Amino acid sequence: MASPKNFRTVLNKYLIYSDGLIGHSFGGYETAFIITQTPIFSAAVASGAITDLNSMYHSVSLQLGKPEMWRFQGEQWTMNKPPYEAAEKYNANSPIMHIANITTPVLLWTGKDDKMVDTHQSMEYYLALRRLGKKSIMLFYPEEGHTLVKPANQNDVTQKMLQWFDYFLKEDRSEKWIIDGTK
């Protein structure tokens, strides 16, 4: 399970290049969380990310047709308790609860038909970022699920991620979609 203490331990132990951070699915969650805990990254991309553990716990998997509670009761998060018995733990590990701390520009993307992670997770995170005036852009890919399968969309997201990192890491300010999208 991610925690500020664990993250700082890794930072102190290993050489970390703090330019960019990227993650998808559980890695998207980790990216969304890490950028709430440290200002060291200059740009981030989080896709298919769970950003509110309490909300996710109380939702139903569109793919599996069962409550998402299993993810927290011994699987990915190993909380082993519901949020109403461990609210502090859920809040401490929910990226959206720490969103005001973010200084890293973040690009979010998701397939509009994602049945693994509800797209509302990314949308709520994005709306909170925008409400707080944080640099962020949200991309939705129609008729795509948790991973992009259409070659045109794969190419588009790849190019956009490269442009995002070029913009913030290499100071290539030529991409109008980033200039307009982060205003």
pLDDT for the residue numbered 76: 79
pLDDT for the residue numbered 4: 56
Dist. CA 73–CA 168, nearest whole Å: 38
- What's this model's pTM, rounded to 2 decimal places? 0.88
- What DSSP line would sit under 9-51, residue for residue? HHHHHS----SEEEEETHHHHHHHHHHHH-S--SEEEEES---
Q: Which CATH class is domain 4-52+94-181?
A: alpha beta
pLDDT for the residue numbered 15: 56
118: Cβ contacts below 8 Å, ≥ 6 apart: 56, 59, 62
Main-chain dihedrals φ then ψ at residue 32, nearest 5 degrees: -60, -35
Mean pLDDT by groups of 10 residues along the chain of 183 residues: 61 67 96 96 97 94 88 83 93 97 98 95 97 98 98 98 95 91 87
